[in-house]
Amino acid sequence: MLETGLIFRALMRNKMGAILIALQIALTMAIMVNAIFMIQDRQQQMKRPSGIDENNTFYLTNTVFAQDHNFQAELQTDLNTLRKTPGIVDAIQINAIPLSGGGWSMSLQHEPGEDKDAIGSALYMVDEHGINTMGLNLIAGENFSQEDIQWRGQGQSTWPPKTIITKAFAAQLFPDDWQTAIGKTFYISQTQPMQIIGIVEALQAPWNGWDGVERSMLVPFQMESSSSYYFIRTEPGKRDKMMPIIEKVLAESNKGRIIRRITTVEDTRKRSYRQHNATNKILTTVVATLTLITSFGIVGLAIFSINRRTKQIGTRRALGATRWQIMRYFMVENFLISTVGVFIGSIGAIGLNMWLVSTFNLTPISFELILFGIVALLIVGQLAVLYPARKAALIAPATATRTI
Amino acid sequence: MFNYYLKIAWISILRHWGLSLLMICAIGLGIGAAMTTITVNYLMSADPIPHKSKQLYYVQLDSWDVNDPFDEGLNPPDQLTFTDTTNLLNAQKAFRQNAQAQANGVIEPNDPELLPMSVSGRANTADFFTMFDVPFIYGSGWTHQADVNKEQVIVLNKVTNDKLFGGEDSVGQTIKLDGNVFKIVGVIDQWQPKPRFYDITTGAFNDSEDIFVPFSMIAEQKIGRSGNTNCWKPSGDGFSAFLVSECIWTQFWVELKTQQDKEEYLTFLNAYVEEQKAYGRFLRPMDNRLSNVMQWLENQEVVADDAKMMMAMSFMFLIVCLLNTVGLLLAKFLGKAPEIGLRQALGASRATLFSQYIIESACIGLAGGLLGLVLAYLGLIGVESLYGDYMQGLATLDSTMMILALVLALISSIVSGIYPTWRACNIQPAQQLKSQ
């Protein structure tokens, strides 16, 4: 286009306004691209499946305070009651809840010994109903049998000889082929052998921010502990109805304990990712307001420059310029400014990302996102200038003949 | 003169109300966003015990695995073993010392009408209350003698006392905790340090505890312990084996009056570790640390990454808003070129014009600052409702923050006004008059 050079020279005569707009666009782009990147990153984290049947499960804390009690008998009674209740699919006692933030971790190592490398994993103590209650998908090997389940006394340091682990954990132990983990023996607590008898597709650890969140192991233990969780799975759609019933049944069956913190797994997930959600909402608001402010800035400055040039525009019109040509002038002008802006903005976005990567351990940004930012801001610029440009196009040719 | 300039500014703002509104909104949004995040960061990094935070020290000893250092060797473990805490406590080398761990239990109220209740607890030694300036409504903390004699005494917080005794003075009465009878020696008033500096291992912004009992109650198994436990070496079976294990789950604070006391205490710690090395412990290189409250909070990165990142983002946001304001002011002032030319021709000096337009910018800035305060207030409510418990009490505007908001708005609007004003003052009167 021939007039591009003309527009550029006209811009150079009044640089400051254009520079300010370009800088605004650049900063907006740097922030926008990085914010969107962080939002996507968090969304991806939140999307990871926990491996559990989240819609139909809940749990509660059972705290025994009476002094003379028989842990083993009481647990068996409770579990029998729960499992027989209509509407309940299955129930277990467990030491920790996925994504809840609190739990237990242990490491497995290929060889026994103090100075051998070990890989950490979340540890869940369950019985043979564990897989069914949580709704896990056993993809290789077998479940625990009733004979595998041991009682774990308080402070006990020995471990049962069998375990079921997640696919992600198996893949970490056997990077070549996770399936070969079945039947292999590893060492827990540095020296105690433990054989992998099964692999489940997924089961997340209690800590969502941990890089090993997909590594979990099931251990066939029932705990003689004054405080533990009961994890319960209901028939589809019956969870909310069953929760108060179960709470009442348990509380009334034994007065020497407290049943508290009855919570759905869905709520636990929500709570677990509450910060993620909040940050995402704030970032979204920031991006939206920022884009709005920048476009208002474009509108404001364009209107002023048009007002200042009313007479010149009128003259051009009088000399035969069409409305479209006037509009095009301002749109091309904005396009030139925006191009400079997004160019600086791309550098800024990468710079900001590098700083975020080094300060907050984020991952580097993708090229597509920068491209998206460029296109988005060019479009925003064009849309913002549309209204002032239309206003300019409506200036009558007769204006040229007026003095003021 | 000043009043006259204010009047002129007011007229000018009203005449271009659309543009003025746009600028006020831009500054308001920028200040609002910046203040929201500054406030959260400010409260997260606040000194929870300002008058003595430099005299309270958190003790760290590197008792960890020689093959696999804690925190990749950057920092010693964040807690101590029970063995070390007990030894340091018994040595009594500091002005005050507090051994502590998190605990929990179930209280069976004496009143049969009330249901048993689960309480969060802390097992600590007598100095806890004096070191951390815990306020009491009734009674006081227990004595050193009570620690030594392993007396079953307890301090309740206000909420628990309200629940159990309807808020009355319960000192001297007993309660049943986990089946054991404890004698109440004190009730503490509302006390919620933010951050909860004395124990940040389970979250820096958690609530303070419902009950406090002597540290010895854990070893005596009169109360169950909770909180984080971290082990590198397998321990034997049973609780007594656990107590002598290398697992870390206790914390130790000392109060030291002077720099010299601190150096002496560090020397003592080094000598202690040397001595323990003889028993085959502490195989890692010596790395004993004493961190005062603020150093400890910083070391443990109490200010969340999210909060810092948001603050950086909001400052960039503010810059965009200011660039916006500069552009709009420029447009506005240059649009007044004929008027400026006329005034100059009539004898207005550059200094007069300069102060006049700077005052106009400042007025816009102040209005923007007020709007920003309202937005920051709303923003903080939003932040609190989005983040929930995590941000509880971290989202309030105090007077310092309000003044800061207005000052920030004023400074940024004056700074953004400088260039446009300078340009306006350099307008050639002759040219302007000619074109009219």
Is residue B424 predicted with pLDDT exceeding 80? yes
Using the beta-carbon criterion (under 8 Å), do B323 and A360 form an inter-chain contact?
Answer: no
The confidence band for B8, taking pLDDT boundaries of 50, 70 and 90, is confident
Q: What percent of chain A has pLDDT over 70?
A: 99
Q: At what angle do helices A274-308 and A265-272 cross, to 10 degrees?
A: 50
Mean pLDDT of A114-140: 93
State residue B94 phi and psi, 5-degree precision: -100, 165
Kind and range of the H or E run holding A334: helix A323-360
Q: What is the rounded distance in angstroms from the CA atom of residue B196 to the CA atom of residue A366?
A: 39
The confidence band for B400, taking pLDDT boundaries of 50, 70 and 90, is confident
Is residue B389 predicted with pLDDT exceeding 80? no
DSSP letter at A180?
G
Q: What is the rounded distance in angstroms from the CA atom of residue A21 to the CA atom of residue A335?
A: 11
For A191, which residue in chain B has the nearest alpha carbon? B234
Q: What is the rounded distance in angstroms from the CA atom of residue A338 to the CA atom of residue A349?
A: 15
For residue A56, give both structure tokens.
């139909």
The confidence band for B232, taking pLDDT boundaries of 50, 70 and 90, is confident
Q: At what angle do helices B17-44 and B399-425 cross, to 10 degrees?
A: 140
What would the pLDDT profile of B137-149 be if each residue is shown by its tens digit? 999 999 999 999 9
Is residue A1 predicted with pLDDT exceeding 70? no
Q: Closest Cα partner for B84 from B254, B337, B319?
A: B254
Query: Which residue among A31, A114, A153 sits closest to B313, beta carbon to beta carbon?
Result: A31
Q: Which residues are within 8 A (CB) of A260 and not within 5 positions of it... i.e. 6 or more apart?
A: A60, A61, A63, B118
State residue B206 phi and psi, 5-degree precision: -75, 165
Mean pLDDT of B286-294: 93
Q: What is the rounded distance in angstroms from the CA atom of residue A256 to the CA atom of residue B246?
A: 34
Mean pLDDT of A368-388: 94
Using the beta-carbon criterion (under 8 Å), do B19 and A31 form an inter-chain contact?
Answer: no
- What is the three-class DSSP state of B317? helix
Beta bridge partners of A126: A220
For residue A48, give both structure tokens.
């990871």
Is residue A59 predicted with pLDDT exceeding 80? yes
Using the beta-carbon criterion (under 8 Å), do B436 and A35 form an inter-chain contact?
Answer: no
**pLDDT: which is higher, A16 or B181:** B181
Residue with tokens 């206790």: B250
The confidence band for A223, taking pLDDT boundaries of 50, 70 and 90, is very high
What would the pLDDT profile of A247-260 be if each residue is shown by its tens digit? 999 988 888 888 98
Mean pLDDT of B47-73: 90
Mean pLDDT of A59-88: 90
The confidence band for B435, taking pLDDT boundaries of 50, 70 and 90, is low
Q: What is the rounded distance in angstroms from the CA atom of residue A153 to the CA atom of residue A159?
A: 11
State residue B313's pLDDT score. Answer: 87
What would the pLDDT profile of A276-334 be if each residue is shown by its tens digit? 898 899 889 989 999 999 998 888 888 888 888 888 899 989 898 899 999 999 999 99
A359 interaction partners in chain B (CB closer than 8 Å):
305, 308-309
State residue A362's pLDDT score. Answer: 78
Mean predicted lDDT score pLDDT of chain B: 89
* A 46-65 near B (Cβ less than 8 A): 63, 65
What would the pLDDT profile of A158-169 be if each residue is shown by its tens digit? 999 999 999 999
DSSP letter at B230?
B
Flag whether residue B331 sits within 8 Å of chain A, measured between CB atoms.
yes
**What Cα–Cα distance (Å) separates residue B408 from each residue in A289, A290, B315?**
20, 19, 11
Is residue A401 predicted with pLDDT exceeding 80? no
What would the pLDDT profile of A32-43 be if each residue is shown by its tens digit? 999 999 999 899
- What is the three-class DSSP state of B193? coil
What would the pLDDT profile of B166-195 be if each residue is shown by its tens digit? 999 999 999 999 889 999 999 999 998 888
The shares of helix, strand and coil residues in chain B, as percent rounded to the nearest 5, are: 50, 15, 35
Q: What is the rounded distance in angstroms from the CA atom of residue B61 to the CA atom of residue B316?
A: 42
Using the beta-carbon criterion (under 8 Å), do A154 and B239 form an inter-chain contact?
Answer: yes
A87 CB neighbour count, 10 Å cutoff: 13
> Chain A closest CA to B60's CA: distance in Å?
23
Would strands A227-234 and A150-152 be described as parallel, antiparallel, or unpaired? unpaired
Alpha helices in A69-187 (DSSP H): 71-84, 130-134, 167-173
Flag whether residue A308 sits within 8 Å of chain B, measured between CB atoms.
yes
Burial class (CB in 10 A: 0-12, 13-18, 19+), B185: buried
For residue B425, give both structure tokens.
């003052």
For residue A398, give both structure tokens.
């007769």
> Chain A closest CA to B177's CA: distance in Å?
9
Q: Which residues are within 8 A (CB) of A10 and not within 5 positions of it... i.e. 6 or more apart?
A: A333
**What Cα–Cα distance (Å) separates residue B370 from each residue in A192, B2, B77, B327, B395?**
66, 21, 47, 21, 18
Q: Which residues are within 8 A (CB) of B357 and not within 5 positions of it... i.e. 6 or more apart?
A: B333, B417, B420, B421, B424, B425
Instruction: Determine if the peptide bond prior to B195 is cis (ω within 30°).
Output: yes
